[in-house]
Amino acid sequence: MDSLAVPEHHRARRSVIVRRLARWFLEASGWRVRGELPAAHKLILAVGPHTSNWDFFIGVAAMLALDIRIYWLGKHSIFRWPVAGLMRRLGGIAVDRGNTLGVAEQIGGQLQAADEMILAITPEGTRRKVARLKTGFARIARAGDCPVLPVTLDFALREIRLHPLFEAGDDPETDALAMRAIFATATPRRPQGF
């Protein structure tokens, strides 16, 4: 866990107790992080495969243990009392999936305006099996002028893998197919859901 270098500009500066508890949780459950976090000031994390609520808890534990400031998109319905404040404090940005018109451009604009920002997205958009990935991650990356870091959660190996950087091209559908191939290298918690 300590071997992953986190650039100073992405440090969240959380309390030592929070970091130690999150690290303990990951170590006790056998999870480790593999790969490198680029020094880029702006970055999209495309995280998958996403088949279980456990994906969220493992991801948040890694974020807290490594003391990284990450924002993430979540469906607006999870931002309810009594957990809404905690979700936002953990970096959550509510998205109304019934009204997604312009969301990629809006979030891309926020990325472009920020000095530093890491944004995590699950391109599947749901825990259910989908025929194709959503293209928002690629459209946000283009609008925000930043690279994409594919991240896989492999429940068989208990690894969070950071893959080489991925540059979004001119065709978001092609990018989504390439991302799905990367996600296919990991074993999800519910393989039948991918």
Q: What is the pLDDT of residue 40?
A: 95
Rounded-to-integer distance, Cα 97 and Cα 13, Å: 32
Rounded-to-integer distance, Cα 131 and Cα 149, Å: 22
| Sequence-ordered strand ranges (E) for 24-69 | 32-34, 42-48
Q: Is the peptide bond before 82 cis (omega within 30 degrees of 0)?
A: yes
Q: What is the pLDDT of residue 101?
A: 67
pLDDT bin (cut points 50, 70, 90) of residue 4 is confident
Determine the residue type at 148.
V
CATH superfamily, domain 8-189, is: Glycerol-3-phosphate (1)-acyltransferase (3.40.1130.10)
Q: What is the pLDDT of residue 70?
A: 97
User: Which of the pair, 179 or 109, is modelled with greater confidence?
Assistant: 179
Contact 48, 123 (CB under 8 A): yes
Give pLDDT tens digits for 11-46: 999 999 999 999 999 999 999 999 999 999 999 999
Give pLDDT tens digits for 117-146: 999 999 998 888 998 999 999 999 998 889
The pTM assigned to this predicted structure is 0.92
Q: Quick one: tokens of 190?
A: 């519910």
Give pLDDT tens digits for 147-186: 999 999 999 999 999 999 999 999 999 999 999 999 999 9
* Residue 24 C-alpha from the chain's centroid: 21
Q: What is the pLDDT of residue 3?
A: 66
Give, for 71, the enclosing helix (H) or strand (E).
strand 71-75
Taking CA atoms, 114 is separated from 42, 108, 119, 140, in Å, by 8, 10, 11, 14
Q: Give per-residue burial for 12-47: e unless 16+ CB within 10 Å, then b.
A: bebeeeebeebbebbeeeebebebebeebebbbbbb
pLDDT bin (cut points 50, 70, 90) of residue 105 is confident
pLDDT bin (cut points 50, 70, 90) of residue 116 is very high
Rounded-to-integer distance, Cα 147 and Cα 194, Å: 25
Domain limits, the chain: 8-189
Give pLDDT tens digits for 56-103: 999 999 999 999 999 998 888 889 999 999 999 999 998 886 766 678
